[in-house]
Chains A and B, each alone.
Chain A
């Protein structure tokens, strides 16, 4: 296993960061009261306090800067069949589940059951195209120690976080220190795929990896947490995507704003600039990931898409119109597009997070078209199909009969993205009012 190499490097980095741990000691809550009872008698205890998880008072109903940046240990990516999976481990922490409705009552904070354990995440991508698979797969995780299974199998949640983008994850309680083996069964992917992805991902694969859960791990992930200045908490904006690439897991990089190119604006995009498309660098090495490089699930910037870009009917102060702070890009591909049926045009709608362009998966939406105030086509609306394309990545699309310039297209969001959320995304993309677009004059 490559893990051993990683662990050695981790060790070196950790000892180097010892002063950082001491400096952060004041930020740690000794959360012992939650699990004191079951911990007595275990000699490895006493170091399983989890970092405090301050919440922002009255956060905006929008993407906002969280209170802190998590640290994590990255394990070596593993390839199985068409998939590559990169496991990442952090300390158990709260996240939010979307519970099937729209509005703030339909999101639910999930707190870890105990401090001992990990927040296990993995990013899954297609080895051939490098596309992160923001898919609704019913992956199954089983965990064992010394050949004995621990707990029941479980399905990880699809999640989004500002630093990690789309990934799968969950808190997993662990009792004992030691080496754990994780089997991830990946069934065929049910998502509609097009382009070079058509007909792919039809086999089941199993990925296996191991990790160490011990004091050193806890010190690394707990000691690496970076709390931001309280004045920044809850500001509209987002953390930069984590730089997974060049150092496998250089947690210190988070502290070193000058030494890390990604953080030269403090990882902090100002909402006023409204540029959803300003940095196309996240995905620039698709298909050529370095050893240990984990791609980030950023969609292409809006100007990378062909077709006639639909114009928001209402003036927007951002490049892309927002609904529930989700940036909604919509374009009309000409008839003859490989995505369109017959002579139809293809409406491609690509909802993404502002700032980081993370695809918003597991939504349901439909469109209605009006021409001179009269409905065109199905008055009840046409459902858009969630689709993963080799060129345009995750989007929602439908073939539509010839639209004309001036046609009004209303996109209705029947359900917001059902993916679980890390801090900073849990108040956005919930209540999503319809957006109206206009087909522009031919250029």
Chain B
């Protein structure tokens, strides 16, 4: 494994690159770069942790406006089962996860993680998933996309503000690393899962992080300094996100679960930043009125806890389209209902493959919620030119995966119909 040239990169960029590379060598480079960081320890009492794997919000920090801030570093580890699940492998997996929970505090300073299972995983069981779980196989959602489909068994999502933690946790589960933050690794995933290295995905989110990647082909120098996302604006506003309660499956054997969709996409940032003006980007990202009324600011700093979409602006989507341009957020917000936004976004930027992109990870009650929002965002019903249809002409979907994130009690190789 070749490590990046330390002298050519900023510290943060170096750490980000190490996460992308992964493995023991990257981990030791990361440790020596970071020095001794005090990582808060976890707990010996698993019952003190939330029942829901996706219960992250109470453990996340908040920005000055009170919006939940996602962890800085993310790794998605695709997993293929080596053998059919048994009670023994279930116990091994649960032990391994408890090791992580003992080693790291359930927080952004420590480690947050989930494991999700694909429709392909559940096909091995005689019984189908209960009706309370909406987990179809992913499909292409537009005529112009031809995504690869995640057909492996499970996806582990590791997230922390410390690159060292996500690397170390992964190595503890799959590698030779036998000490996690002072906790001895007695059980790992060896023999249960194989890690699919070629489909491993990594990323980052946070003010300033995208602008540090202008060395990557396709990331122009004009990415705003303070932007937390490649497209140049804040997102994840409290008012635009589903609550964890909303996305939780409440009934049936998987009560406490949620579904996860991961849409991996490449972004065209050169034309976005070099050709479209700031007002045009605001029109396309939010709505024409956001630009006309100057509601957004450089990177979204004027928006506080919502993306500023009133019912009137959402209702104006069709008319705005006929006037020439329609906003991405405006279109997608049409899928809101009485309970508010249906998706809880936990997406992050990536430069996997040395290309700018997004791993759009979203949680929702059922996959149909995701499809409904995505179709509203595609806006086939709108009378508007493709190039002026939100951000559609700047994003290129490469992969899709659907996952069930069971409650913690069922996270280890669940049956399709748990008792």
Contacts and interface: CB of A to CB of B under 8 A. Distances in A.
Contacts of B124: none
Contact of B323 (A101, A108, A138, A154): A101
Contact of B283 (A99, A155, A418): A99
Interface in B236-275: 266-271, 274-275
Interface in B130-147: 142-144, 146
A125 interface: no
B322 A138 contact: no
A377 interface: no
A418 B268 contact: no
B144 A113 contact: no
B275 A152 contact: no
B217 interface: yes
A102 B384 CA distance: 15
Contact of B271 (A98, A140, A170): A170
B288 interface: yes
Given A153-B268, A415-B324, A418-B385, A190 B275 contact: no
Interface string B82-121: 0000000000000000000000000000000000000000
Interface residues of B, number: 38
Interface in B339-385: 355-356, 380, 383-385
Contacts of A362: 385
Contact of A364 (B279, B323, B387, B393): B323
Contact of A152 (B143, B268, B279): B268
B280 A415 contact: no
Given A99-B279, A136-B386, A138-B392, A152 B266 contact: yes
Interface in B190-218: 217-218
Interface in B383-405: 383-388, 392-394, 396
Nearest to A152: B218
Contacts of A274: none
A94 to B, nearest CB: 11
Contacts of A113: 220, 270, 274
Interface string B319-331: 0001111000000
Contacts of B384: 418
A100 interface: yes
Nearest to B387: A157
Contacts of B271: 154, 170
A98 B279 CA distance: 12
A16 interface: no
Contact of A100 (B288, B356, B392): B288
Contacts of B57: none
B387 A155 contact: yes
B339 to A, nearest CB: 32
A286 B69 CA distance: 59
Contact of A418 (B144, B355, B388, B394): B388
B310 interface: no
Nearest to A415: B324
Contacts of B267: 152
A136 B396 contact: no
A117 to B, nearest CB: 11
A138 B267 CA distance: 15
Contact of A99 (B146, B280, B355, B356): B280
Contacts of B268: 152-155
B277 A154 contact: no
A158 B387 CA distance: 8
Contacts of B315: none
B275 to A, nearest CB: 5
Interface in A68-113: 97-102, 106, 108, 110, 113
A179 interface: no
Nearest to A364: B322
A414 interface: yes
Contact of B270 (A152, A364, A415): A152
Contacts of B280: 97, 99-100, 108
A52 to B, nearest CB: 21
A81 to B, nearest CB: 14
A140 B396 contact: yes
B322 A204 contact: no
Contacts of A110: 274-275
Contacts of A158: 385, 387
B276 interface: yes
Given A99-B277, A170-B271, A418-B385, A204 B144 contact: yes
Given A110-B274, A418-B388, 14 more contacts: A101-B323, A110-B275, A137-B386, A138-B144, A138-B393, A140-B144, A149-B355, A150-B217, A153-B266, A154-B271, A204-B143, A364-B383, A414-B322, A418-B385
Interface of B: 142-144, 146, 217-218, 220, 266-271, 274-277, 279-280, 283, 288, 322-325, 355-356, 380, 383-388, 392-394, 396
Interface of A: 97-102, 106, 108, 110, 113, 136-138, 140, 149-155, 157-158, 170, 173, 185, 187-188, 190, 204, 362, 364, 383, 414-416, 418-419
